[in-house]
């Protein structure tokens, strides 16, 4: 749960310290009585589980045993905000009607009880029950109140979950981390062992362990960082589903929750599909074999040429000194320009090759410093016309020198008693350090017509700007007036300067090099004056490039991450051409930044592309309010049932409900289907929800929807709606629910964007949080030109299952109880409501 990250952040530690000081963490009795309530308070969900009172977040310990679905959850028995974390408990025989039980596992003086799971130890591997009466064993995170350390612990029940006893040998797994939490455990039959999936939250990793008895654990592997990494990872869940490509086989699904970083902002839940072999989880979408161009696994660069110092003399086989841990490369070695830290620069270039496949796939990481077309690398010269390069015996034809510089010419680099001069092009430059800083004078160019947009030039030396006393400057003079100027930076290094000539096109100008200063840094350096159509850009990139015919035609950079991820270049327009790859580190960390290095590996030509892991990741829910999604162990008939916390850490503790705060999503049955050839998680509400249909049904077919809003013959606070639309000419269309008193919640489809969306900007009470109003959307392609919506409306929520559960959006809404209308709408044209069925829902309470 996101609340757990309080132990990680400075802000959270302050919250925890304040809570301790206030005495909020008190021992709690498991006999805490369930409060009486009629479950009819304003905003009280009627078919979503909510506790009678107080705060609730993550679902925990989802398990089916002896005819009952057990729902444990993060619970504060003493208040309506996060704190006192214990395990609440409710049971149901049908996933719809719930009975709340006393607190199952209370916090104690030492630890709060964070998220985890429950298994039924049928074979009595723990010895905590018997084969005739197996123990229900909870595996949870014990969060130490003093140190913040998070370890994994056990509690067990031999009375069907009515009471739990904490195991005397706790903790059973402790790695000394404040960010190791949320164990999801299940029996892995192929290995005849227990498998644990847990989060290394601050590393954005999922870690896997195995055990014969739930007490002794062996580390297997880690997965990540991958997919969305905008916040700490939490509450992972790994499980198999029938492979949609071959239902006789299994495809594995890994759910990972994170906060912040969700697709709609705040907390969210993502998933990966792939394979699990008992040790490693391998995500789908890795590249197929092709023609290798460089894998860096032979202990040398294997024909690639290294220049500069950044890449060293051979590939790297691990993390370099001073570098954060690197992950994601494959094989023995990879290219890493962190040799000596971020300051060194250099290039690693491949041999030439013929482009004879459609794609080039490779791994890249490191700094996010993209290649800028036209940028100057090292001693390179920008595009344009050379006006003066000072490589002759004089300053150049028509140049005039006056004062102490009369009869002088260009300098061959550093002069006597001068610190080393660098950055100039060629072997000569203008250097007014003639006989030291004392000489003064001017060096003036011949007149020329300003016919190109920019003057690009190199300038160094003293920092005495034009307009100050005793300047050292290079000036652009038009009609006798200085219209642009540059000075040095008290440095013997020449840097590039660009002057924009747009306002002076067609006019006559001269360039004037002025040294009127005899004191410290009383000299000016100048070189390589160019006229061009673009300003000069000095390369600061950390990038991989494809170079064809001397031009960079493709480039990629890292994402300020030490994790290497796949990227692809489409080469369809370059077939038959000859090219080479350059891995460039032109960023010397000159300006005190960071990530001035690049990582790269496994370059290969292929006939298939591979999307980056960030693109391969999918979202469980595209709405704002589905977090900590986990699935049931041992559900009947092999079904995979999932629940989530219907809230968001952005505003969860401010939701204006009383005497409770938070609810669960409806239970959803999961499957996999191929959507656009990609294995996609399909979710549908459990069939048992239809038990709550109260017999009040409205059905309509083929209703034309003109531009605007069309009222429908249905209303209610709690509804089960199915609707099918064809688009007509409308740019967007759909239905409105909980309308009235200026309030409405829109569930629609945007044709241009190809997205289904929920718009809750006018859904009711939203004054408690600026991030609550808004629009959430999910990419979705119509099926045979049709949009199918299944919408569950409760007193304070909307859940949308679009196109048979291909995309799901869950949002809380807080309308007035009197806002009960239902309507259809179309924007920018017409639509057709092919069919509509609205069932009013009775209360599960």
The residues annotated with a catalytic role in the active site are 58
Separation between Cα atoms, residue 236 and residue 241, nearest integer Å: 16
Could you give the CA distance from residue 688 to residue 706 in angstroms, rounded to a whole number? 36
How far does CA 318 lie from the centroid of its chain? 25
Structure tokens at 777: 């959307």
- Using alpha carbons, select from 492, 364, 479 the residue that is nearest to residue 422: 492
Contact 165, 157 (CB under 8 A): yes
660-661 and 54-65: which strand pairing? parallel
Q: Are 334 and 296 in contact (CB under 8 A)?
A: yes
* DSSP run (H or E) holding 613: helix 613-616
- Asked whether the beta carbons of 809 and 758 are under 8 A apart, the reply is yes
In this structure, are residues 345 and 585 in contact, taking their beta carbons and an 8 Å threshold?
A: yes
Can you read off the two tokens belonging to residue 707?
């531009």
> Are 426 and 391 contacting, i.e. CB atoms less than 8 angstroms apart?
yes
Count of CB atoms situated within 10 Å of the CB of 325: 9
Q: Are strands 375-376 and 537-538 parallel, antiparallel or unpaired?
A: parallel
End-to-end CA distance of the chain: 27
Q: Which residues, including other chains, have CB under 8 Å from residue 575's CB and lie 6 or more apart? A: 355, 356
| H helix intervals, 446-523 | none
Cα–Cα distance, 399 to 397 (Å, whole number):
6
Q: Which residues pair with 711 in a beta bridge?
A: 823
**What is 496-514 written as a DSSP string?**
EEEEE-GGGTT-EEEEEEE
- Per-residue exposure over 38-59, b if at least 16 CB sit within 10 Å of its own CB, e if not: eeeeebbbbbbbbbebbbbbbb
Longest CA pairwise span in the chain (Å): 108
How many angstroms separate the CA atoms of 773 and 648, rounded?
13
* Helix, strand, or coil (residue 14): helix
Residue 361 to residues 272, 293, 305: CA-CA distances in angstroms? 21, 10, 20
Given a contact cutoff of 8 angstroms between Cβ atoms, the answer to whether 91 and 66 are in contact is no
β-sheet bridge partners, residue 314: none
* Tokens describing residue 361: 């796939």
H or E element at residue 15: helix 10-21
List CB contacts of 606: < 8 A, sequence separation 6 or more: 287, 288, 289, 290, 291, 357, 358, 359, 360, 361
The DSSP-derived string for 136-173 is EEEEEEEEETTT--EEEEEEEESSTTS--EE-TT--SE
d(CA 220, CA 276): 12
Angstrom CA distances, 51 to 16, 46, 643, 654, 735, stand at 24, 12, 15, 17, 31
User: 206, 91, 214, 227: which is closest to 160 by C-alpha?
Assistant: 91
Q: How far apart are CA 394 and CA 411, in angstroms?
A: 10
Residue with tokens 């090292």: 378
- Compute the CA torsion angle 442, 448, 450, 451 (nearest 10 deg): -150
The DSSP 8-state label assigned to residue 459 in this structure reads: E
């Amino acid at each position: 749960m996101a609340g757990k990250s309080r132990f990680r952040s400075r802000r959270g530690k302050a919250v925890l310290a304040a809570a301790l000081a206030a005495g909020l963490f008190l021992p709690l009795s498991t006999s805490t009585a369930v409060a009486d309530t009629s479950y009819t308070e304003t905003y009280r969900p009627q078919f979503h589980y909510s506790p009678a009172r107080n705060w609730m977040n993550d679902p925990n310990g989802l398990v089916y045993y002896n005819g009952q679905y057990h729902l444990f959850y993060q619970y504060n028995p003493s208040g309506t905000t996060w704190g006192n974390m214990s395990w609440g408990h409710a049971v149901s025989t049908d996933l719809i009607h719930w009975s709340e039980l006393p607190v199952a596992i209370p916090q104690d003086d030492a630890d709060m009880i964070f998220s985890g799971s429950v298994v039924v130890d049928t074979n009595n591997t723990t010895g905590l029950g018997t084969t005739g009466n197996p123990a229900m064993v909870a595996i949870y995170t014990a969060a130490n109140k003093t140190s913040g350390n998070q370890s994994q612990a056990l509690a067990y029940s031999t009375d069907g979950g009515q009471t739990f006893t904490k195991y005397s040998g706790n903790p059973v797994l402790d790695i000394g981390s404040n960010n190791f939490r949320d164990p999801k455990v299940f029996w892995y039959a192929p290995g005849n062992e227990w498998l644990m999936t847990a989060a290394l939250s601050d590393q954005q990793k999922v870690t896997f362990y195995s055990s014969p008895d739930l007490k002794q654990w062996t580390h297997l592997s880690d997965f990540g960082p991958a997919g969305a990494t905008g916040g700490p990872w939490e509450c992972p869940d790994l499980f198999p589903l029938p492979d949609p490509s071959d239902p006789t086989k299994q495809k594995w699904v890994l759910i990972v929750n994170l906060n912040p970083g969700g697709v709609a902002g705040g907390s969210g839940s993502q998933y990966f599909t792939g394979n699990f072999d008992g040790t490693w989880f391998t995500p789908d979408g890795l590249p197929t074999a092709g023609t290798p161009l460089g894998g860096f696994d032979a202990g040398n660069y294997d024909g690639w040429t290294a220049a500069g110092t950044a890449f060293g003399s051979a590939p790297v086989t691990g993390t370099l000194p001073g570098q954060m841990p690197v992950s994601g490369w494959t094989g023995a070695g990879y290219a890493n320009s962190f040799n000596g830290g971020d300051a060194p620069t250099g290039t690693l270039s491949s041999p030439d090759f013929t482009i004879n496949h459609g794609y080039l796939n490779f791994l890249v990481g490191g700094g996010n410093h993209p290649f800028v077309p036209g940028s100057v690398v090292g001693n390179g010269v920008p595009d344009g016309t050379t006006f003066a390069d000072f490589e002759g015996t004089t300053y150049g034809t028509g140049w005039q020198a006056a004062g102490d510089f009369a009869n002088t010419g260009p300098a061959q680099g550093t002069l006597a008693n001068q610190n080393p001069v660098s950055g100039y092009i060629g072997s000569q430059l203008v250097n007014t350090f003639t006989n030291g800083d004392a000489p003064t004078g001017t060096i003036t160019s011949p007149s020329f017509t300003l016919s190109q947009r920019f003057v690009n030039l190199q300038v160094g030396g003293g920092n005495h700007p034009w307009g100050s006393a005793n300047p050292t400057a290079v000036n652009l003079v038009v009609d006798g007036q200085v219209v642009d100027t540059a000075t040095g930076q008290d440095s013997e290094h020449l840097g590039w300067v660009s002057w924009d000539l747009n306002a002076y096109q067609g006019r006559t100008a001269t360039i004037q090099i002025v040294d009127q200063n005899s004191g410290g840094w009383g000299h000016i350096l100048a070189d390589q004056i160019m006229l061009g159509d673009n300003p000069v850009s000095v390369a600061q990139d950390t990038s991989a490039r494809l170079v064809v015919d001397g031009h960079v035609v493709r480039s990629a950079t890292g994402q300020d991450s030490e994790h290497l991820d796949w990227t692809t270049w489409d080469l369809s327009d370059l077939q038959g051409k000859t090219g080479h790859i350059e891995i460039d580190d032109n960023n010397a960390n000159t300006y005190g930044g960071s990530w001035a290095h690049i990582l790269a590996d496994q370059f290969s030509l292929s006939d298939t592309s591979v999307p980056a892991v960030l693109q391969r990741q999918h979202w469980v829910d595209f709405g704002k309010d589905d977090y900590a999604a986990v699935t049931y162990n041992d559900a009947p008939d092999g079904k995979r049932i999932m629940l989530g916390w219907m809230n968001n850490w952005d505003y969860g503790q401010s939701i204006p409900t009383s005497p409770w705060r938070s609810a669960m999503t409806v239970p959803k049955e999961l499957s996999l289907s191929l959507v656009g050839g990609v294995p996609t998680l399909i979710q549908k509400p459990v069939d048992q929800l239809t038990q709550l249909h109260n017999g009040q049904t409205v059905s309509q077919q083929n209703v034309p929807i003109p531009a605007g809003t069309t009222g429908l013959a249905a209303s209610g606070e709690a509804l089960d709606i199915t609707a099918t639309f064809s688009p007509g000419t409308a740019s967007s269309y759909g239905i409105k629910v909980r309308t009235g008193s200026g309030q409405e919640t829109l569930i629609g489809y945007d044709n241009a964007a190809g997205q289904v969306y929920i718009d809750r900007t006018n859904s009711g009470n939203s004054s408690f949080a600026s991030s609550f109003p808004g629009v959430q959307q999910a990419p979705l392609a119509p099926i045979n030109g049709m949009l199918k919506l299944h919408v569950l409306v409760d007193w304070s929520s909307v859940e949308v299952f679009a196109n048979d559960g291909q995309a799901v959006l869950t949002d809380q809404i807080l309308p007035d109880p009197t806002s009960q209308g239902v309507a259809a709408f179309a924007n920018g044209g017409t639509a057709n409501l092919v069919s509509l069925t609205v069932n009013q829902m009775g209360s599960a309470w």
